[in-house]
Chain A
Amino acid sequence: MKRLLPFVASLCATACTNTPIAPQTSAFDRPEDVAFFCWNLRTSSPTALADCRPRTPESIDDDRGEPPDGYALHALVTQTTTGEVAAARLTGAEGEPGIIDTDVRIPGFTFAAVGEVPSALAVSRIDPRHVFVLSRGSADVHVIETARFRSGLGAASTAFRLPGGRSLPSAMRLSPDERALLVAMFETGQVARLPVAADGTLGEADLLDLDPALPDPVDRRGLPAVESWRYTCQAPPLFEPPTIAPREPVALGLAPAPSAMVDDPETGHVLVADGSLPLVHVIDPVTLTTVRTINVSVPLQALALTPRVPATIGATERTERYLYAVDATDGSVLAIEWSDPARPDFGAVLSVEAQPPHDRLNVPFPARALAIVTPGYDEATPTAPCADAQNGLAASGVNLRGVFLAVGTVDGRVRMFDVFDADTACRGFGCGSGRDLNVEDQLVAIGRHRNRIGAYVAEGVVLEPDPSWETDGVGVEVVGTGGGTNAPDLVPALTPVTCPASLSPIYPLEGAPLICAVRDPWAAISQSFSVRFEGPIPFTTTTGGNFEDGGGVLLSATDYCAVGVIGGDDVPDEGYLAGYAGDVVAITGDLPPSVLRGDERRLARCNQLTQRTTAGEVTPVLIAIRSAQSRPEDLHEAYVGRLRLGAVVRPEGASLADVLECYPELLQFEVRTRDVFTVSAGRRGFQHPIVEGADHRCVVDPERAAAGRRGRAFFESVFETSEIRFALGPRPADISGRNPELRMTVARVPVGLSIDISTIGGSASPSLLTRMVYNPVDQRLYAVDQSVQGLLRIKLSRLGIQQTFR
């Protein structure tokens, strides 16, 4: 016992000295919407939001967003899981900002209980005595006295049921005169207006049935070209977005389904996005009538309207406005002309990008939220000088002064797009007129509806490292500026090409170009190109192949036409791929166990067929493909693709019967090109012109080929797509049986300015951005992350996350 005691004591000591780690708890539970009110600390009452406007900061560093003494800015945030509304104090001395416990008598944070799945908030900017909370699940509006949030004694609410049964209300706003609530009722296709009495009670709802009629979308073709607002310094050739026809309208239903609303402060109208029909409804909230409907070709799920901005870089008058929206079918973002209803292009979806899709902003992932931010944008003097430059600092891409579009995407980022940058005069070391220009700020491109480039750019888009050939383990051969390598027998040379208008010389940067690519900083994509001799066609590799029909047919789950396979019998007589011998099947898997453990003589024949080594490595058997089909009628629906096979290409002299003998069951194979190069890009993949033609056979579509969808490059021929152009020289003497690969990597593409809301303070956690609201009073952008971060307060004068509340 005595000997045991020290041991036991040491165990206890170890246990007792371990400091328990307190878990970091979050008071918020799936926040969704946010609204603001200002609190008068002296009178302990809510006051007009404008009372919380900070004084104009003397510098960006001085911009803390603090209201004048005696006032505190607050936020209200809906909690969808618990059916509550939480309040948070956003400003104050250290220790004062934070979540507010609405009822201190109950342990833990207590918020105001409202309806089922509270999804929208509305608070008057002038008279914020009442908070209105829309609950989607219970289809009602709860009214809460704003002051109750800070009472510490609970905040009771009064519920007002919306008309109809299952309306699934999707959005709510106070009317511009703040005398009524407007509620979008998704399920019934109506907008309800509920009068707001002075005591906050809601009156009987009036209903407006949204108009389902579809006018024609606005077509900008034939209209005079409009010069776009753009500022550049030492930029490479930039490509103009082509004017295209409006898309064929698409609907997700038969009746209107309002999904979002935004005010038009100029007209007093309310713009209503339709989540089912491709319409924007403009309604008059006073008369509750439809003013007009605009056909934008797709249903929408979010809206953001800009203030007036100058039309061109030299203009001083504010004449233009734009309405941005999220396409409900795919989450892309579109820009709609919204300047003047009298103009013929009013309501047109604009072409904003040089690369397709031309009528969508360059947002790589589906958008979940939009907001227009206007930091430092004094509409009376839109061309005020750079703020940062006045303090001896250089203007830069992260200083936002003007009008910008913030797009929140599913990957947890907030991406910024330029609408009007008030600091352009100070940008570009060789171009700007301000003082203290940064020497790194060489290449500047700022354009309306384009990604804002945040970092300084000293050099444009290049190939980095230099293009090089990998030669099956023999070595790496760098392509010289003359196009040749040190292994002319193994790999072909590159020969000089002429760059078309859409591409720029990228290698070498001086002298006769060998490779042309996109160098427009907005259009270029960081990616690698692979050019591989007789390389596999992507997504054709499978271990699920089985011979049928005595070996003449291979069935699998691969959609061969979709991935770009073509047989020798189906190549065209002229045009792209004329004369091509067709792709081949390459059996890459080892011999099946039944052969390896079976008859020794058969094994010997199969070892010879596959040149199998003792280590189990095989030389792929190659079989010509006569034709490829996708979903032929006589194919069982469990399969997708069928290949009709021809002669065995390798090894010479072998037959299909020889192959069948060695592969009676398990078959791992892929499809490769034959005597040509397989070209694929990291982002866009293997671009090919193959489509499913008659009899479900995979054939060449000449239109796709003409549009640059080409995946096969030939010796002594120019290869061109919309992204790259090069020419291969003659066939090298010793290339047969080898698979050399040319790699070209487009690098130094300027990255669009964005904030990753999932990464705060050095730690990262998955985020789910759901809403963004710009507060013009403190000139901050507020983002709601449902997953972890809660409410984020984002400073815009030098873009960064200022605070989080969770």
Chain B
Amino acid sequence: MADRLTPALLALSLCAACNLDQAGIDPRPATMNFPVAVRLYQPDPTIPASHLFVVNSNFDLRFNTGTLHAIDLQRVRDLVAGQCGGGGTDCMLDRLTYVEDPTEGAHPVLSDEVGIGSHASGLELRPGDHGRLYLPSRTSRDLTTIDFAPNVGFTCEQSYRAAVDEGTPRWEAGDVPRCARSRRVTRREGVANERGLELVGDPVAAAVVRSRDIGPVDVGDFLLVALREGRVALFLDDGSAAVPELLHVAEGFPQSLVSLTMEPGRAIGWLTSSTTNELARVGIVVDPGAPARSFVYDAGRLRLGGVDDGQDTRDMVFHPRRSDVAFILSRRPESVIEVDLVRRGLTPSDLGLRGLYEVGRGPSRLATAVLGDRTYVLASCFDAQRLFVFDVEVGALVSVIGGFSGPFELVIDAAEERAYLVDFSISVVRVLDLSPLATGGVPTLIATLGVPTPVVSLTGT
């Protein structure tokens, strides 16, 4: 009897797993789930940002989509000032809801929200008006394009997956509207077909640059997308369509690409890789007569020579006030490396080294800001669970901020002297006050957005 029953039970359990109509779990509105990228909506950098965009990657695939949040920062400021005494302590804004939600005790800071698919790997904004967002997505292996306006919210032809009764407030919909498929891919027109282009690979980073900043003509914005396997794709968004057009794909860059940073004022993007001590560079050539025929090329590699051993770099930022200096975040050794872009090192292929500044374990992302008359570089260290702050003029570490679980990407609002840091491991965004740096003090944690959600094991422990 037991011999006949066991196969039957096995078959039954297997059959249950084969139900292909499972839609998965819809994300609860206003829920952060493994945030991975943040950007400020700040068309005028001299004025404090009005919104914060947060990309939730849905890393654990707990839900059937990742989400993009627009957080109303003025409401955050009001809550911090009102409920939490103005920033003296960590203000827990854990009951996030939409700005029009009257629920008692909630924190209505969420201006808008859309579903974007899982495993988005970054976020870039259109230069200037910040009115368009580009998200490289590992799920669609393409770019997702979303428009934004403060009084309108996100526009991506979004709709709910299942029908929602008319009049249902969105905080009661039980789901989030998702961007249309048409917004999750880019265009293939004549040039891409002629060149036989295929977007093959894992998008890991993107960069946007205005055409008038890198060429003699103003034809829109060029986008570069780095693919992990050592490729870089070029897109053009001339504003004529809802999504950019693929123009060219260049190969031959190092494997395991991690980040892509445009050199200010130049048509050169710098690429970091986790498997080599070379920094690759990709150049954009603008065809002024036929912009769609523009292309990208390998602009050569420069080595982190003289460092022990520089074989894993994770991020790069350029000095905000000097065109000849940049900072590279290295994991071997774990440090911020200040490089000279003009002077070469031991050989003509080596970058000139200006300094090395130690950071903690697992350095992940860099940000730089001018606060007052000082220039700072901030490095998030995921495994050390800390943020390291360097004063560039002094050339030294001035502060180490702890209290995080998995610090990752961050953005700095210099106008308000605040930093917004993704705490990936517990799915929140931290708000830090950087103003104490001006008087030799330590930056303080003034608010946390989202419900701290530690990673749990399958057994629930």
- Chain A interface residues (CB < 8 Å from chain B): 1-2, 4, 29-30, 80-83, 116-117, 119, 136-139, 165-168, 170, 186-187, 253, 275, 301, 328, 330-331, 364-366, 368, 409-413, 538-539, 541-546, 557, 593-594, 597, 636-638, 665-666, 668, 682-686, 758, 766-768, 770, 786-788
Contact residues of A: prevailing secondary structure? loop
Question: 1/0 per residue B246-261: CB within 8 Å of A?
Answer: 0000100000000000
Distance of A543 Cα from B280 Cα, bound (Å): 14
Q: Is the CB of B353 within 8 A of A768?
A: no
Distance of A767 Cα from B300 Cα, bound (Å): 28
Q: Is the CB of A80 within 8 A of B309?
A: no
Q: Collect the chain B residues with CB atoms within 8 Å of residue A413's CB.
A: 308
Q: Is the CB of B394 within 8 A of A137?
A: no
Q: Collect the chain B residues with CB atoms within 8 Å of residue A668's CB.
A: 297
Q: Is the CB of A166 within 8 A of B267?
A: no
Q: A539-B300, A557-B268, A636-B216 are in contact. Are A138 and B194 (CB under 8 A)?
A: no
Q: Which of A4, A368, A546 has the most chain B CB atoms closer than 10 A to its own CB?
A: A546
Query: Which listed residue (B213, B285, B308, B346) contacts A412, Cβ 8 A?
Result: B308
Q: A137-B399, A410-B356, A638-B267 are in contact. Are A766 and B439 (CB under 8 A)?
A: no
Q: Collect the chain A residues with CB atoms within 8 Å of residue B332's CB.
A: 766
Q: A1-B3, A136-B396, A557-B299 are in contact. Are A364 and B306 (CB under 8 A)?
A: yes
Query: Which A-chain residue is minimally distant from B344 (CB atoms)?
Result: A685
Q: Is the CB of B360 within 8 A of A665?
A: no
Q: Which 8 A-B pairs have the closest CB atoms?
A: A412-B308, A543-B297, A166-B440, A365-B306, A685-B348, A544-B297, A766-B333, A766-B332
A138-B442, A543-B298, A546-B285 provided; 7 other pairs, C-beta below 8 A? A80-B400, A168-B440, A330-B343, A542-B297, A593-B194, A768-B308, A768-B335
Q: Collect the chain B residues with CB atoms within 8 Å of residue A636's CB.
A: 215-216
Q: Collect the chain A residues with CB atoms within 8 Å of residue B384's CB.
A: 29, 81
Query: Which listed residue (B6, B298, B308, B335) contacts A411, Cβ 8 A?
Result: B308
Q: Is the CB of B399 within 8 A of A116?
A: yes
Query: Which A-chain residue is minimally distant from B310 (CB atoms)?
Result: A766
Asked if B355 is at the interface of the complex by the 8 Å CB criterion, the answer is yes
Q: Is the CB of A409 within 8 A of B347?
A: no
Q: Is the CB of B285 within 8 A of A544?
A: yes
Asked if B386 is at the interface of the complex by the 8 Å CB criterion, the answer is yes
Q: A557-B268, A593-B196 are in contact. Are A170 and B396 (CB under 8 A)?
A: yes
Q: Is the CB of A770 within 8 A of B397?
A: no
Asked if B214 is at the interface of the complex by the 8 Å CB criterion, the answer is yes
Q: Is the CB of B194 within 8 A of A137?
A: no
Q: Is the CB of B306 within 8 A of A366?
A: yes
Q: Is the CB of A409 within 8 A of B285?
A: no
Query: Which listed residue (B293, B308, B353, B360) contacts A331, Cβ 8 A?
Result: B353
Q: Collect the chain A residues with CB atoms within 8 Å of residue B194's CB.
A: 593-594, 597
Q: Collect the chain B residues with CB atoms within 8 Å of residue A328's CB.
A: 395
Q: Collect the chain B residues with CB atoms within 8 Å of residue A766's CB.
A: 308-309, 311, 332-334
Q: Which of B214, B360, B394 has the most chain A CB atoms closer than 10 A to its own CB?
A: B394
- B381 to nearest A CB, angstroms? 9
**How many of chain B's residues have a CB under 8 angstroms from any CB in A?**
62
Asked if B131 is at the interface of the complex by the 8 Å CB criterion, the answer is no
Q: Collect the chain A residues with CB atoms within 8 Å of residue B6's CB.
A: 1, 4
Distance of A638 Cα from B355 Cα, bound (Å): 28
Distance of A692 Cα from B6 Cα, bound (Å): 85
Distance of A593 Cα from B197 Cα, bound (Å): 11
Asked if B266 is at the interface of the complex by the 8 Å CB criterion, the answer is yes
Question: 1/0 per residue B279-307: CB within 8 Å of A?
Answer: 00001011100000101011110000011
5 contacts between A and B (CB under 8 A): A30-B359, A638-B286, A768-B356, A768-B358, A787-B334
Query: Which A-chain residue is minimally distant from B332 (CB atoms)?
Result: A766
Q: Collect the chain B residues with CB atoms within 8 Å of residue A166's CB.
A: 438-440
Distance of A411 Cα from B6 Cα, bound (Å): 63
Q: Is the CB of A542 within 8 A of B356?
A: no
Query: Which listed residue (B214, B335, B358) contacts A80, Cβ 8 A?
Result: B358
Distance of A637 Cα from B265 Cα, bound (Å): 8
Asked if B20 is at the interface of the complex by the 8 Å CB criterion, the answer is no
Asked if B11 is at the interface of the complex by the 8 Å CB criterion, the answer is no
Question: 1/0 per residue B225-239: CB within 8 Å of A?
Answer: 000000000000000
Q: Collect the chain B residues with CB atoms within 8 Å of residue A685's CB.
A: 347-348
Distance of A139 Cα from B441 Cα, bound (Å): 9
Q: Collect the chain A residues with CB atoms within 8 Å of residue B309's CB.
A: 766
Query: Which B-chain residue is minimally distant from A786 (CB atoms)?
Result: B358
Q: Is the CB of A116 within 8 A of B442?
A: yes
Find residues 300-324 in chain B having any chain A CB closer than 8 Å to their own CB: 300, 306-309, 311
Asked if B152 is at the interface of the complex by the 8 Å CB criterion, the answer is no
Asked if B2 is at the interface of the complex by the 8 Å CB criterion, the answer is yes
Q: Collect the chain B residues with CB atoms within 8 Å of residue A557's CB.
A: 266-268, 283, 299
Asked if B391 is at the interface of the complex by the 8 Å CB criterion, the answer is yes
Asked if B398 is at the interface of the complex by the 8 Å CB criterion, the answer is yes
Find residues 177-201 in chain B having any chain A CB closer than 8 Å to their own CB: 194-196
Query: Which listed residue (B216, B352, B440) contacts A138, Cβ 8 A?
Result: B440
Query: Which B-chain residue is minimally distant from A187 (CB atoms)?
Result: B394
Q: A1-B2, A683-B347 are in contact. Are A638 and B353 (CB under 8 A)?
A: no
Q: Collect the chain A residues with CB atoms within 8 Å of residue B400's CB.
A: 80-83, 116-117, 137
Q: Is the CB of A542 within 8 A of B299?
A: yes
Distance of A538 Cα from B306 Cα, bound (Å): 21
Q: Is the CB of B397 within 8 A of A117?
A: yes
Query: Which B-chain residue is minimally distant from A412 (CB atoms)?
Result: B308
Distance of A366 Cα from B351 Cα, bound (Å): 12
Q: Is the CB of B360 within 8 A of A29?
A: yes
Distance of A119 Cα from B439 Cα, bound (Å): 19
Distance of A541 Cα from B299 Cα, bound (Å): 9
- B361 to nearest A CB, angstroms? 8
Q: Collect the chain A residues with CB atoms within 8 Å of residue B286's CB.
A: 638
Q: Which of A364, A597, A638, A666 has the most chain B CB atoms closer than 10 A to its own CB?
A: A638
Distance of A758 Cα from B334 Cα, bound (Å): 13
Q: Is the CB of B306 within 8 A of A410?
A: yes
- A163 to nearest B CB, angstroms? 12
Q: Collect the chain B residues with CB atoms within 8 Å of residue A330's CB.
A: 343, 352, 354
Q: Collect the chain A residues with CB atoms within 8 Å of residue B343's CB.
A: 330
Q: Is the CB of B394 within 8 A of A168?
A: yes
Q: Collect the chain A residues with CB atoms within 8 Å of residue B394's CB.
A: 168, 170, 186-187
Q: Which of A83, A330, A411, A788 has the most chain B CB atoms closer than 10 A to its own CB?
A: A411
Q: Is the CB of A411 within 8 A of B306?
A: yes
Q: Collect the chain B residues with CB atoms within 8 Å of residue A81's CB.
A: 360, 384, 386, 400
- B348 to nearest A CB, angstroms? 4
Q: Collect the chain B residues with CB atoms within 8 Å of residue A410's CB.
A: 306-308, 353, 356
Q: Collect the chain A residues with CB atoms within 8 Å of residue B333's CB.
A: 412, 766-768, 786-788
Distance of A139 Cα from B394 Cα, bound (Å): 14
- B371 to nearest A CB, angstroms? 12
Distance of A559 Cα from B356 Cα, bound (Å): 28
Distance of A557 Cα from B284 Cα, bound (Å): 10
Find residues 21-68 in chain B having any chain A CB closer than 8 Å to their own CB: none
Q: Is the CB of B397 within 8 A of A638?
A: no
- B358 to nearest A CB, angstroms? 4
Question: 1/0 per residue B327-365: CB within 8 Å of A?
Answer: 000001111000000010111100011111011100000
Q: Collect the chain A residues with CB atoms within 8 Å of residue B334's CB.
A: 766, 768, 787
Q: Collect the chain A residues with CB atoms within 8 Å of residue B216's CB.
A: 636
Find residues 1-28 in chain B having any chain A CB closer than 8 Å to their own CB: 2-3, 6
Query: Which A-chain residue is minimally distant from B216 (CB atoms)?
Result: A636
Query: Which listed residue (B283, B335, B442) contacts A137, Cβ 8 A?
Result: B442
